Amino acid sequence: MSHKEFENIKADISLADDFESPQEIPLMPLRNTVLYPQQVIPLYIGRERSLRLLDELLPETKLIAVVAQKDISTENPKEDDLYSWGTLAQVLKIFDMPDKSKSAIVQGIERIQILKVTQESPFYKAVVRRVHEISYTNDVKTQALVSNLYNQFQTLVDKAQYLTNEHLDVVKVIRDPGRLADKIVSILNVQVSEKQSILEIPDVQKRLTSATILVNKEIQRMEVGEKIQSQVQDSINKNQREYFLREQLKAIRKELGEDDSGMDTKELEEKIEKSNLPEEALKVARKELTRLERISPQSPEYTVSRTYLEWLVELPWSVSTDDQVDITKAEQILNEDHYGLEKIKERILEYLAVRKLKQLKDPKAGVKGPILCFIGPPGVGKTSVGMSIARAMGRKFYRMSLGGVRDEAEIRGHRRTYIGALPGRIIQGIKKAGSNNPVFMLDEIDKLGADFRGDPSSALLEVLDPEQNYSFSDHYLEVPFDLRHVMFIATANWYDPIPDPLKDRMEILEFPGYTEPEKIHIAKSFLIPKQIKEHGLEQDDIVFTNDGISTIIENFTRESGVRNLEREIANICRKVAREKVEKGTRKRRITSSMVTRYLGKKKYYSEVAERMVKPGIAVGLAWTAVGGDILFIEATKMPGTGKLILTGKLGDVMQESAQAAMSFIRANAEHFGIDPNFNKEYDVHIHIPAGAIPKDGPSAGVTLMTAMVSVLSDRMVKDRYAMTGEITLRGHILPVGGIKEKVIAANRAGIRNVILPDKNKKDIDEDIPAEVKKEMTFHFLDDMLDVLDLALEPKKDREKK
């Protein structure tokens, strides 16, 4: 149909002339099709509503609005499911089909906007309005755009198989620029949304530009497709060529008697027979070997299968070391490597003694390995004790750090379906140790994490349970491995983060902090000889005196362990080494003054004497993850209305302890010589310095109350007194934990009197080293009134001063 014939048809349609204002007409949604003006297309109509629409059409006009729907799967679209631009169309002819559906020939007339869908049943109706095209007559830019679009379309016809020269001939005769863009886009094999975007552009120049972009995209897609197809074909040809060459090479080797295709499998078969695998593992290995023989060496599956077999045969299924059950020799080794730690050594020797008795009764009997967990501050020798245990028992040692491990597959391994799969770190450690009964150290077990990849601590439950680990199943091996003979030792700095099920499977051994005499002995016996050797010095080049070591401990380190002490000793050794090289100096005697000369200004100093100068200051004892420490609690009063102000980043429990102390003081104000109405005249402010560090726990209750009574009664706390304990509203003192660490911290700070709950007396008797007990006096009390009578100076004595 020519353009002139189309205009004649359009002129005969009276309704179209009135579309300057909105009109309501029937609407037909189309699936997977966009109708453009002047385009004639056949439609297959099977939906009930569309069939009803055709039945109700007026015979004189047969005008409908045609619009594409966004989702072709929607059977009965709503207004939101339809595009807002469509085409006014005339139904030219309707055909009845044998299956009771219909087929219609429709012709697009002009662009319209769908303002509102007014009816959905029995068929769609909508209010629409006409859209005028913005055209440019004899415009140079329009002519250039038309020429460019035609040339691009001609290029696409040469590349696209679904386009022919007949399409090019149809496009060639179109003179109207807007219709040219519509026609070309209607032919393209692009998405409905892209065709719809062209329908919604009334500006002819913009429409030509957008159509050109779509044609260019199709050209690029065709070029990429051709390139990929070419690469695939080249790859196929290359693989075929390599296959033929390998077959020829195989035939040549066979003729020469050099055929080694079965060498790998024969070698693996020999290893399997010699590795003394358990029956179940042997069955799996033979089955996998049979499968390997059928796989081509060029197949990726070949490498996966071979690697799996190598892991199976290289694991020490039946390789074990003989335990040394000489208790005297084991005790000697433990004492050589570590000073102190008597309870830890005692537990190890007990294990060896039990093993020796079992072997005397039945040489083939085994002892389930104990699961020990060493908990203590950094630097106290937890990891090195594990190494000493392995040496004392004559076992191999393997250390596995769990800090930051968040993936459950780190413990159990990855399944072989994954690329690069490996066994978990437990099986890897057993293989590296080379025996099935090593001392296996799980370091930093309190630092385990968990995320979307699983919970590693849950995977460890089977590993650390003697009732389950005889058949530990790794995801990679999928064959049970017996871990009963492995001696697992875990280490941690903190008790609380360890999950309760794991705690239940382990025997907790607490590592205390070292006292100053112990540190001096460790430095002279272990640290100094080690650092002298590491810095290229001789024993005659440098000598540390006890005073010098003591100065380093008191003024340059503050720790429960000896890690920083070793660093400072290394610092001095470096400086002596430099002097020896530069000046040729001989034998430096490291005294207290020489320590200050080499290390500079001291880092730590005792604050007790300097801060205990006014009422309201008391010294508490605190337990931390790195050992004990002293805690200054300051209280002051000021005119106010009885408020209790708490600062220093205190936790809820510590704040509640302060509230309980205030209630007890108000209830017993007269007994302390405090004005009963003090809460109406004063505010009390309690502050614990080092405000950036969080502090919590009930054990500061005694110290909080002492500081508050001190400031309210204007009585000084006695010099070099420290205290700890939880209080009740009745003034009773309850026991607390961490006594050993707290007492050692007080001793380190120069405090000689410590007030403790009466029920903690057993902790002093059992845990505190004898040299510390000699230097300190302990006061065991269970009533707060007794504490205040002991810790506070009489008011009259202070007035005399």
Say how many CA atoms lie within 13 Å of 6 toward its Cβ.
15
Task: Give the residue carrying structure tokens 């502090």.
Answer: 695
Matching residue, tokens 């001696």: 487
Out of 186, 560, 657, 699, the active site residue is 699
Count CB atoms within 10 A of the CB of residue 242. Answer: 11
- Map residue 87 onto helix, strand or coil: strand
Q: Which residues contact 387 (CB under 8 A, 6 or more apart)?
A: 337, 397, 439, 441
Is the bond preceding residue 377 a cis peptide, omega within 30 degrees?
no
Contact 552, 565 (CB under 8 A): yes
The full DSSP string for 482-510 is: --TT-EEEEEES-STTS-HHHHHTSEEEE
Q: Mind giving me the DSSP string for 637-681?
A: EEESSS-EEEESSB-HHHHHHHHHHHHHHHHTTGGGT--TTHHHH
Give the position of tokens 């911290």.
Answer: 745
Beta bridge partners of 40: 107
Q: What is the DSSP letter of 369?
A: P
| Neighbour-count burial for 86-107, b at 16+ CB within 10 Å, e otherwise | bbbbbbeebeeeeeeebebebb
* Tokens linked to 369: 């390995």
**Catalytic status, residue 606:** no
Tell me, letter by letter, the H, E, C secondary structure of 300-328.
HHHHHHHHHHHHHHHCCCCCCCCCCCCHH
- Cα→Cα distances 185→50, 210, 608, 652, Å: 26, 10, 89, 72
Residues in contact with 58: Cβ distance below 8 Å, sequence separation at least 6, in sequence order: none
Dihedral in degrees, nearest 10, Cα atoms 599, 600, 604, 608: 130
The gap from C-alpha 386 to its chain's centroid, in whole angstroms, comes to 28
In residues, how long is the chain? Answer: 801
Of 183, 695, 740, 742, which one is the catalytic site residue? 742
Catalytic status, residue 458: no
- For 111, 211, 319, 403, 416, the CA distances from 425, given in Å and listed in that order, are 69, 60, 19, 13, 15
Match 């693989």 to its residue by tokens: 239
18 vs 326, 416, 542, CA distance in Å? 112, 73, 110
Sign (positive/negative) of CA torsion 147, 148, 154, 157? Answer: negative
Burial state string for 18-56 with b = 16 or more CB within 10 A and e = fewer than 16? ebeeebebbbbbbbeebbbbbbebebebebebbbebbee
Closest CA to 448 of 385, 506, 401: 401
What does the radius of gyration of the chain's CA atoms come to, in whole angstroms?
45
Which tokens hold the place of 162?
A: 């679904």
Residues 467 and 252: their CA atoms lie apart, in Å, by 58
Instruction: Tell me the helices (H) and strands (E) count for the chain, helix number first.
Output: 32, 24
Active site members: 699, 742
